[in-house]
Amino acid sequence: MTEIVLMSDPRVAAIPVTECGERLVDVRIGDSLLVDARKQDPADAFAYLREGVLDRLLEAQALLPRGLRLLFVEGYRPPALQRKYFEEYADQLRTGNPEWQAEEIHSAASRYVSPPEIAPHSAGAAVDLTLADAGGRELNLGTRMNADPEESAGACYTDALNISEEARANRKLLGSVLTVAGLVNYPTEWWHWSFGDRYWAMVTGEAAALYGPKEINSHL
């Protein structure tokens, strides 16, 4: 794909979900991934992912050069929390751009936070992550994780040109191992990768998504 398709695009919403029923699992079990607690939520849901997504992350990690690891920051996000994030960012855009119409606000907000009805995080299908060295120190990937387009002057876009050669090389490495493992990137956020959700289905040409929105207590 050469064009950037946003989460708000009708083509994403049009993809059906054939829920496979796969469970959510805690990525901290077994200590196989480095887990950063900066996005920890009251329900402690951030560290959960669908089992198939975790399997692919471990596959990707095994492809990294010696001394590097994936640093997991956030996976599952309850639908109510996703809605809160989206509405907060939309309000921020609305305040800064009072001349924008509702459709413009919705589309612009989806560059940074997925609309709740589409959100891969709420399906347990998406992960926000970066690279770290053996000591757990984050590598330079050009922006802080979760930098919005306004704050970063667009450097949060995966293929942004206004980042250093070092950051570009690190993004390329992260992307290469995750792509081999079957995940797809949301191109406005270098840190956001997913498998099995509607956006993944659109990018890969699959007829349906494997995972739909899920409540955290339904995995028990």
Of the candidates 36, 33, 37, which has an alpha carbon nearest to the alpha carbon of residue 64?
A: 33
* pLDDT tens, position by position, 11-64: 998 999 999 999 999 999 988 999 998 877 777 899 999 999 999 999 999 999
pLDDT reported for residue 93: 81
Cα gap 58→52, rounded to integer Å: 10
* pLDDT tens, position by position, 44-57: 899 999 999 999 99
For residue 28 the two structure tokens come to 């901290």
Q: Across the chain, what does the average pLDDT equal?
A: 89
* pLDDT tens, position by position, 104-141: 787 777 666 777 777 888 899 999 999 999 899 999 99
* Helix residue ranges, H only, the chain: 10-13, 51-62, 79-96, 102-109, 149-152, 165-180, 198-204
Q: Are strands 192-194 and 184-185 parallel, antiparallel or unpaired?
A: antiparallel
pLDDT reported for residue 92: 83
* Residues 89 and 107 sit within 8 Å (Cβ to Cβ): no
Identify the band that residue 209 occupies on the pLDDT scale cut at 50, 70 and 90.
Answer: very high
Higher pLDDT residue, 98 or 159? 159
Q: For the whole model, what pTM was predicted?
A: 0.86
* pLDDT tens, position by position, 145-155: 989 888 999 99
Q: For the CA atoms of the chain, what is the radius of gyration?
A: 17
Identify the band that residue 10 occupies on the pLDDT scale cut at 50, 70 and 90.
Answer: confident
For residue 68 the two structure tokens come to 């590097």
Q: H-helix or E-strand containing 212?
A: none
pLDDT at 218 > cutoff 70: no
Q: Residue 62 phi/psi, 5° resolution?
A: -65, -20
* Residues 196 and 209 sit within 8 Å (Cβ to Cβ): yes
Mean per-residue pLDDT, 65-77: 95
Cα gap 202→5, rounded to integer Å: 9
